[in-house]
Amino acid sequence: MEILFVIIGIICLVLGLAGCIVPMLPGPPISYVALILLHFTSQAEYTVSQLTLWLVLVIIVQLLDYFVPMWGSKYIGGSRWGARGCLLGTIVGLFFMPMGIILGPFLGAVIGELLGGNDTTFALKSGVGSLMGFLFGTLLKCMLCGYFAWQFFTGWLS
């Protein structure tokens, strides 16, 4: 049974890392499942506080993944119109996977700024900010999944 848990855990890690890029897969939660599976073997025993902290990190990163593009738009100097457009574009983009998750926030911010009366240059700047936010969120997910993979393999091989 332990071998099965380890094999499924490794599959979860691979899927979790893929989920950092493929929008349909929630990468960090899947990688977290790998740690839970390894915890139920004799290979590694994580403390309750470790598992709880990791779960909190998963929740934070998952929530940030939806809001960081909007914050990126505002950081670049976008207005409320751009931020609202980015949020709406993110929601609409979910229906047009996989490219919609990348283009949705960008186009939403650009269209929002244009509807707010801003010029095209400003609107594109706001859209680039949302794209940068999306890339930052992807980086956060990859870092967390990589950390989980490191924890898994150090626990399994020790």
- Give the tens place of pLDDT for each residue, 55-74: 999 999 998 887 887 777 77
Q: Are 153 and 17 in contact (CB under 8 A)?
A: no
CA 42 to chain centre: 31
**Run of H or E including 41:** none
pLDDT computed for residue 157 by the predictor? 85
Q: What is the distance between the alpha carbons of residues 85 and 107, in angstroms, rounded to a whole number?
A: 8
pLDDT computed for residue 127 by the predictor? 82
pLDDT-above-70 percentage for the chain: 99
Q: What is the distance between the alpha carbons of residues 40 and 57, in angstroms, rounded to a whole number?
A: 21
pLDDT computed for residue 94 by the predictor? 78
Q: Are 44 and 38 in contact (CB under 8 A)?
A: yes
Other CB atoms within 10 Å distance of the CB of residue 107: 19
For 3, counting Cβ atoms within 10 Å of its Cβ (0-12 exposed, 13-18 middle, 19+ buried), the class is exposed
Mean pLDDT calculated for residue range 78-98: 80
Q: What is the distance between the alpha carbons of residues 135 and 119, in angstroms, rounded to a whole number?
A: 25
- pLDDT above 80 (res 77): no
- The amino acid sitting at 152 is F
- pLDDT above 90 (res 92): no
What pLDDT band is residue 30 in, cutting at 50, 70 and 90? very high
Q: C-alpha distances in angstroms, 126 versus 16, 143, 152? A: 30, 26, 39
- The amino acid sitting at 4 is L
- Give the tens place of pLDDT for each residue, 99-150: 887 788 888 888 988 988 888 888 888 888 878 888 888 899 999 999 999 9
pLDDT computed for residue 147 by the predictor? 97
- pLDDT above 80 (res 75): no
- The amino acid sitting at 104 is G
